[in-house]
């Protein structure tokens, strides 16, 4: 399979296999459900879901096909399995009972996965927050504290923090080194409300807390799996070499 497809852009063709890369578009079959499709499009726009992701359903097989060189890599297979497990929960109309930090290199379908889960949640009537990066979330939290009546990024603070579903991607700026602050703050706030939070990162845990001189971020790791599963997230790492993630490769 070719890594870069100029026929379908790597997204597959609707209702048929792409002759160049072999992928088939995996949709939510909304073309057969016009009423549901209209409602989803309206909800997706409110959640700032890009048009290219609207109606697109994440699929584990497509991720496996895109990385056939890792077909026997247990780290990769566990990552795919965990994504599939979380995605299946959303597809069944439920919310996961545990928060998670998914760490993987670029082109490992993290955004497709997130937007797919968000749309499945919307289809089942859950309140879904727009997908923001950690720097945007920091801005939202800070300004909400200083000027509580002001709406930041078009999102009311209470509506965002109290949403049933929140996915956050880690900024690619140097502020990724202090992303631990946002991770801890959001996990703490939302776990008190009984809600899970999901983070998507191309950087490992060491990079996310590089500016943490107090080492407080170490406490977010529940090595014994006995703590609050909403406050202490599962950490799913897909990097073959952890030091590459540290360097931001």
User: Hey, what are 15's tokens?
Assistant: 């209702």
pLDDT score, position 37: 66
Q: What angle in degrees, to the nearest 10, is found between the helix axes of 110-123 and 34-46?
A: 120
Q: Is residue 153 over pLDDT 70? A: yes
Single pTM value for the model: 0.83
Query: Over 70: is that where the pLDDT of 15 sits?
Result: no
pLDDT grade for 41, boundaries at 50, 70 and 90: confident
Q: What percent of the chain has pLDDT over 90?
A: 59
Sequence length of the chain is: 249
For strands 132-133 and 198-201, give the pairing: unpaired
Identify whether the C-beta of residue 221 lies closer than 8 Å to the C-beta of residue 232: yes
Write out the CATH class of domain 33-246. Answer: alpha beta
pLDDT of residue 224: 57
**What are the residue ranges of CATH 3.40.50.300 in the chain?**
33-246
pLDDT tens for 78-128 read: 999 999 999 999 999 999 999 999 999 999 999 999 999 999 999 999 999
- Residue 42 structure tokens: 């309206």
Alpha carbons within 13 A on the beta-carbon side of 1: 18
For residue 62, pLDDT beyond 80: yes
């Amino acid at each position: 399979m070719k890594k870069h497809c100029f026929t379908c852009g790597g997204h597959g063709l609707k209702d048929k296999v792409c002759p160049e890369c072999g992928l088939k578009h995996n949709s939510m079959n909304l073309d057969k459900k016009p009423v549901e499709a209209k409602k989803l499009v309206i909800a997706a726009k409110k959640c700032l879901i890009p048009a290219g992701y609207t109606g697109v359903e994440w699929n584990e097989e497509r991720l496996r096909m895109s990385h056939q060189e890792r077909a026997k890599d247990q780290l990769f297979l566990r990552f795919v399995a965990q994504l599939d497990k979380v995605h299946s929960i959303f597809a069944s109309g439920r919310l996961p009972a545990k928060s998670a930090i998914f760490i993987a290199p670029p082109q490992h379908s993290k955004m497709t996965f997130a937007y797919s889960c968000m749309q499945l949640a919307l289809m089942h009537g859950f309140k879904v927050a727009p997908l923001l990066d950690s720097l945007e979330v920091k801005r939202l939290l800070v300004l909400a504290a200083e000027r509580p009546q002001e709406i930041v990024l078009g999102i009311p603070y209470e509506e965002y923090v109290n949403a049933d579903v929140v996915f956050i991607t880690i900024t690619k700026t140097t502020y990724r080194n202090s992303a631990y602050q946002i991770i801890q703050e959001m996990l703490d706030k939302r776990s008190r409300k009984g809600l899970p939070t999901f983070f998507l990162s191309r950087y490992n845990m060491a990079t996310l807390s590089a500016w943490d001189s107090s080492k407080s971020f170490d406490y977010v790791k529940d090595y014994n799996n006995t703590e609050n599963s909403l406050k202490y997230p599962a950490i799913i790492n897909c990097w073959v070499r952890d030091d590459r993630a540290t360097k931001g490769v």
